[in-house]
């Protein structure tokens, strides 16, 4: 993970920490394919909302970086 903690990576990806932890632990056990098998697929609106939230988080990080300079 390029030296990031799980919580730092989750923040950068705009993901819940718990979800990323589950994925990392499942990947370490070789069972990543079994994660979320019972979860219903996201609707187009939910996917768009997630994309916009990620983009917003990225823009906020860039803004904060520029403020520090």
Q: Are residues 45 and 29 in the same domain?
A: no
Q: Please give the pLDDT value at position 49.
A: 92
Structural domain count of the chain: 2
Q: Are residues 28 and 8 in the same domain?
A: yes
Q: Please give the pLDDT value at position 40.
A: 73
Q: Are residues 26 and 47 in the same domain?
A: no
Instruction: Report the C-alpha gap between 57 and 53 in whole angstroms.
Output: 6
Question: Which structural domain range is residue 47 located in?
Answer: 39-69
pLDDT in tens, the chain (69 residues): 468 888 888 888 888 888 888 888 878 887 777 666 666 777 889 889 989 999 999 999 999 999 988
pTM for this predicted structure: 0.46
């Amino acid at each position: 993970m390029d030296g990031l903690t799980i919580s730092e990576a989750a923040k950068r990806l705009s993901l819940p920490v718990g979800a990323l932890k589950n994925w990392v632990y499942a990947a370490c056990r070789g069972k990543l394919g079994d994660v979320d098998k019972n979860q219903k697929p996201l609707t187009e609106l939910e996917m768009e909302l997630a994309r916009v939230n990620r983009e917003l988080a990225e823009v906020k990080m860039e803004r904060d970086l520029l403020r520090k300079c």
